[in-house]
């Protein structure tokens, strides 16, 4: 249900962009070069609620690139308590356009931006039926600490598009994962 709500917000944002183009307003084009980054930013019309938006960086963001590297950032305020598990829900659209990744190329890093020291991970599980990537750190992630999920050697989709990756976390003391936020990834942008 939350995923559908986020997709609806994204559709509203895209409709607003179409209206801006039709009325002659200029929109910022995706950055060129080898890297692309975004921060949490703000929303003018529709889109994802600011408290759910997570920052990211992308290297080698070209259509069909097999060297794409995603740096999915999670800021300290998203960790009010220790986190035991991470779950990333990937959209069907990513795979429909021939996107893929190798779960052995997933890692956690301390800090922000592209991260620093590695955080040991005990297991990374890919569930193809539910399109979820589960990450289990060896030790619980400390409260009020920032970290980055790095997914290396991603095969980008064949065509440009927005792909909403959702992050759920299981906090210490909880029995169910909670939605933390989403990365509205602009993939194959160059």
Give pLDDT < 50 ranges for the chain: 5, 8-34, 39-45
- Domain range holding 99? 2-187
Q: Please tell me the predicted confidence (pLDDT) of residue 15.
A: 45
* pLDDT at residue 3 in the model: 52
How many distinct structural domains can be found in the chain? Answer: 1
Q: What pLDDT, in 10s, does the model give residues 86-109?
A: 999 999 999 998 999 999 999 999
- Tell me the C-alpha distance between 2 and 179, whole Å: 8
The pLDDT value recorded for residue 47 is 66
Regarding pTM above 0.95, the answer is no
pLDDT at 48: 73
What pLDDT was estimated at residue 38? 52
Domain CATH number, residue 40: 2.60.40.3490
pLDDT at 189: 85
Give the pLDDT of residue 152: 95
Return the pLDDT at 45. 46
């Amino acid at each position: 249900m939350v995923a559908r709500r986020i997709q609806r917000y994204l559709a509203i944002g895209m409709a607003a962009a179409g209206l801006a183009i039709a009325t002659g307003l200029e929109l910022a084009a995706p950055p060129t070069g080898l890297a692309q980054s975004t921060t949490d930013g703000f929303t003018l019309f529709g889109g994802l609620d600011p408290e759910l938006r997570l920052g990211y960086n992308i290297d080698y963001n070209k259509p069909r690139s097999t060297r794409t590297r995603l740096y999915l950032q999670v800021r300290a305020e998203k960790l009010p308590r220790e986190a035991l598990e991470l779950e990333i829900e990937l959209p069907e659209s990513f795979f429909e356009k021939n996107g893929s990744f190798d779960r052995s190329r997933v890692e956690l890093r301390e800090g922000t931006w592209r991260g620093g020291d590695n955080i040991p991970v005990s297991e990374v599980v890919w569930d193809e039926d539910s399109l979820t990537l589960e990450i289990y750190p060896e030790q619980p992630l400390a409260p009020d600490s920032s970290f980055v999920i790095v997914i290396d050697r991603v095969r980008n989709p064949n065509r440009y598009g927005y792909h909403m990756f959702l992050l759920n976390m299981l906090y210490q003391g909880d029995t169910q994962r909670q939605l933390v936020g989403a990365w509205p990834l602009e993939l194959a942008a160059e």
